[in-house]
Amino acid sequence: MTDKNHYTAAEILAVLSSRQLRDGQVVFAGVGTPLLAATLAQRLRCPGLTILFEGGVVGAFVEPGKLPPSTNDQRCTKRANMVLGSADVLLLLQRGYVDVGFMGGAQIDQFGNLNSSYIGDPKDPKTRLPGTGGGNDISSLTSMIVAMKHEKRRFVENVDFITSPGFIRGGNSRAESGLPAGGMFRVITELAIFGFDEVSRRMKVLALNPGISREEVQDNTGFKLDFDAKTTVTEPPTDHELQTLRMLDPERLFTA
Taking the model in full, what pTM does it have?
0.93
Give the helix, strand, coil percentages of the chain, each rounded to 5. Answer: 25, 25, 50
- Asked if residue 36 is part of any domain, the answer here is yes
Domain membership of residue 222 (yes or no) is yes
Eight-state DSSP code of residue 6:
G
1 versus 107: the higher-pLDDT residue is: 107
- Residue 117, CA distances (Å) to 5, 38, 128, 168 in order: 35, 25, 6, 16
| 63 counts as catalytic | no
Predicted pLDDT of residue 4: 55
pLDDT of the residue at 5:
59
Domain holding 83, by residue range, is 4-248
Do the domain assignments include residue 202?
yes
Let me know the angle formed at the C-alpha of 13 by 143 and 21, rounded to the nearest 5 degrees.
Answer: 35
What's the structural domain count of the chain?
A: 1
DSSP, collapsed to helix, strand or coil, labels residue 206 as: strand
Residue 10 in this model has a pLDDT that exceeds 80: yes
Q: How confident is the model at residue 194 (pLDDT cuts 50, 70, 90)?
A: very high
Cβ–Cβ < 8 Å for 136, 163:
yes
| Nearest-angstrom CA–CA distance, 210 and 202 | 24
Summarize pLDDT for 220-240 with one digit per residue, the tens.
Answer: 999 999 999 999 999 999 999
pLDDT over 50 (residue 214): yes
* pLDDT mean over 126-140: 90
Q: Would 253 be classed as within a structural domain?
A: no
Per-residue model confidence as pLDDT tens digits over 23-64: 999 999 988 899 999 999 999 999 999 999 888 889 988 888
In a domain, 221, yes or no: yes
Residue 236 lies in a domain: yes
Find the catalytic residue in 54, 190, 198, 241: 54
Residue 69 pLDDT > 90 = no
CATH number at 170 reads 3.40.1080.10
